[in-house]
Amino acid sequence: MVKSQTEIGSPAIELSAEAFKVFCEGISGMFGLNIQCNQQQAVAETVIGLEERFKNLVAVDCVKAEGAFEGTLQFVFDREGLFTLAGIIFSMPEQKTLENTEHGSLEDAEGLSDAIREIGHLMASAWQRVFNEKLDGQSHFVKTNTFIGYPWDKPEEKIGLAGEKELLFVSYEITIEPYPIFKCGVIFPETIIGGTSVSLSEKAAPAEEESEEKAEAETEIKAEEEAEGKAEEETEEKGSDANESATKEEPEASAKKKDAAPDANATDDVAEEEAASDQSKESTIGGVSKTIHKMTQSSAVLPGESADLSLALSAEEVMQKEVVWGSPDDSVQQAFTKMQHHNVGYMMIGQYGVPEGIVSNSDLTGAISPYLRPIFTKWRRPSDDATLQIKIKWIMSRPVRTIKPQASLAAVIENMRKFGGRCLPVVDQQGKVQGLVTAFDIFKVLSTLDISSAVKSSTLQTPA
């Protein structure tokens, strides 16, 4: 009987639920949020069916799998999901994020593309951790590209899905208070599912068979030992009289002889045990050698070490060296133009390298009127346009909290946790800015390591 795609993909379904959970735990730990992730169903689906599920704006992060799974996975988030997660990553005001989940446009979503890409990196890291641990032969998951918009008209061109082929879709519902529940899921193309028929229970079978064989061997050895014991007892009974007389006549000589010459049978037993031990070592040394070789070829670190190693990095090792500057008298519109030109999320305000304030993309977005958006064009008034002329000095954050280049990443995270903000300028002894460390820079470091180990560190806990 030919197995269905769902039956063949059962290991992927089970592990994907665990990977989504690890992803949510990572976001929860970084931002101190209450996140619930529930797997809904795993079904054979087509692009037409996906279009029915996701009728509005979506974000798709593509991740390439190498190893037991070969191919590209697509992680799909509906409009509520992409704006909720992007708002959290960008630390946008709650009301602003809620507004985006209801009325956010494609233009609004494209402005948050950096955050959505970062979500893809975090997802790939979560999957790599779970699948490497639970599935033999899985190499790694690499984030490739991100699509924001409506992919179903040209799915192969936009997200790499052939419209006529059947695929496996596993759907999830995620709740992040106080935002609305959103839908997301992972698409397993047929090319990935078709070559993987090993279930999790089947994967454990070799170990179980080995255990059974070992138990049978121990039973046989025990039976042989009992038989030998009975034979020795019979022999001892037959020769007890002779042995007794010999013992009476020469007790001291017998004792000396016994001390001087070890029993031949005992010597043989020891030799047999040593031989069995050597044989056992030979049977296992191949597997151990392979495991050690695999470990030496891997870039992974031992459990519990990843967080310590990453948090020991200094600020100057992870900072962005390119810093965009503006004047306190610049308008919001001028700041928008400058930040978009350089594709940055933060801009320093000041001169001669000395910071007077700092402004973020979300600060600018929150300062302008919501009626400047295309969706509200018909209600737009001259007073709304006037918000673009607000001077930066009225909305920038000050005083500016800074760190030294030698400060550890752990100290940077603790500073963000304690005082808020998602960007810290790195200044030298003269107080001049050398670079910026943002939450994105921290994500890039942590996304290459074990998320669970990093999340367990108390320095990563952020108040809600």
The CATH number covering residue 192 comes to 3.40.1550.10
Q: What is the pLDDT of residues 28-51, one digit of tens each?
A: 877 788 899 998 888 888 889 999
Q: Domain check: are 123 and 224 in the same one?
A: no
Q: Domain check: are 197 and 210 in the same one?
A: no
Angle between helix axes 79-89 and 113-134 (nearest 10 degrees) is: 100
For the chain, percent of residues with pLDDT exceeding 70? 67
Residue 325 inside a domain? The answer is: yes
Q: Domain check: are 406 and 433 in the same one?
A: yes
Q: Name beta bridge partners: 142.
A: 64
- Cα(297)–Cα(307) distance, rounded to whole angstroms? 21
Q: For the chain, what is the mean pLDDT?
A: 74
Task: Look up residue 279 and give its two tokens.
Answer: 């044989």
Residue in 59, 61, 76, 98 with CA at minimum distance from that of residue 176? 98
pLDDT of residue 309: 57
Q: What is the pLDDT of residues 247-280, one digit of tens each?
A: 444 444 444 444 444 444 444 454 455 444 444 4
Q: Domain check: are 36 and 172 in the same one?
A: yes
pLDDT of residue 131: 83
Q: What is the pLDDT of residues 146-199, one digit of tens each?
A: 999 999 989 989 998 877 778 888 999 999 989 999 999 999 876 555 444 333
Residue 156 inside a domain? The answer is: yes
pTM of the model: 0.47
Residue 444 inside a domain? The answer is: yes
pLDDT of residue 72: 86
Q: Domain check: are 376 and 399 in the same one?
A: yes
pLDDT of residue 230: 57
Residue 244 inside a domain? The answer is: no
Task: Tell which wins on pLDDT, 103 or 219.
Answer: 103
pLDDT of residue 193: 53
Report helix, strand or coil for 72: strand
Choose one of 203, 225, 255: the last residue of a domain.
203
pLDDT of residue 203: 35
Task: Tell which wins on pLDDT, 90 or 453.
Answer: 90
Q: Which of 27-36, 376-385, 387-396 shows the lowest per-residue confidence on average (mean pLDDT)? A: 376-385
- Cα(52)–Cα(225) distance, rounded to whole angstroms? 71
Q: Domain check: are 176 and 217 in the same one?
A: no
- Cα(200)–Cα(204) distance, rounded to whole angstroms? 7
Whether residue 144 is predicted with pLDDT greater than 70 in this model: the reply is yes
Q: Residue 382: which CATH number?
A: 3.10.580.10
pLDDT of residue 220: 60
- Cα(109)–Cα(459) distance, rounded to whole angstroms? 31
pLDDT of residue 138: 63
Q: Domain check: are 217 and 198 in the same one?
A: no
Whether residue 354 is predicted with pLDDT greater than 70 in this model: the reply is yes
Residue 83 inside a domain? The answer is: yes
User: What is the DSSP track for 415-453?
Assistant: HHHHH--SEEEEE-TTS-EEEEEEHHHHHHHHTTS-HHH
**Whether residue 206 has a cis bond before it, omega within 30° of 0:** no
Q: How many CB atoms lie within 10 A of CB 418?
A: 12
pLDDT of residue 197: 38
Q: What is the pLDDT of residues 214-239, one digit of tens each?
A: 455 556 655 666 665 655 555 555 45
Whether residue 302 is predicted with pLDDT greater than 80 in this model: the reply is no
Cα torsion 20, 22, 27, 28 to 10°: value is 110
Q: Are 86 and 112 in contact (CB under 8 A)?
A: yes
pLDDT of residue 94: 87
Q: Domain check: are 327 and 229 in the same one?
A: no
pLDDT of residue 175: 94
pLDDT of residue 93: 84
Q: Domain check: are 22 and 158 in the same one?
A: yes
Residue 242 inside a domain? The answer is: no
Q: Are 307 and 449 in contact (CB under 8 A)?
A: yes
pLDDT of residue 149: 94
Residue 284 inside a domain? The answer is: no
Q: Averaged over 19-31, what is the pLDDT?
A: 86
pLDDT of residue 435: 94
Q: How far is CA 110 from CA 86, 100, 216, 363, in A?
A: 11, 12, 64, 17
Q: Averaged over 15-34, what is the pLDDT?
A: 86
Whether residue 452 is predicted with pLDDT greater than 50 in this model: the reply is no
Q: Domain check: are 58 and 163 in the same one?
A: yes
Residue 283 inside a domain? The answer is: no
Q: How confident is the model at residue 4 (pLDDT cuts 50, 70, 90)?
A: very low
For the chain, percent of residues with pLDDT exceeding 90? 22
Q: Domain check: are 113 and 155 in the same one?
A: yes
pLDDT of residue 44: 86
**269 φ/ψ angles, rounded to the nearest 5 degrees:** -60, -45
- Cα(113)–Cα(20) distance, rounded to whole angstroms? 21
For the chain, what is the domain count?
3
What is the domain range of residue 428? 306-460
Exposed/middle/buried for residue 147 (C-beta within 10 Å: 0-12, 13-18, 19+): buried
Q: Domain check: are 141 and 50 in the same one?
A: yes
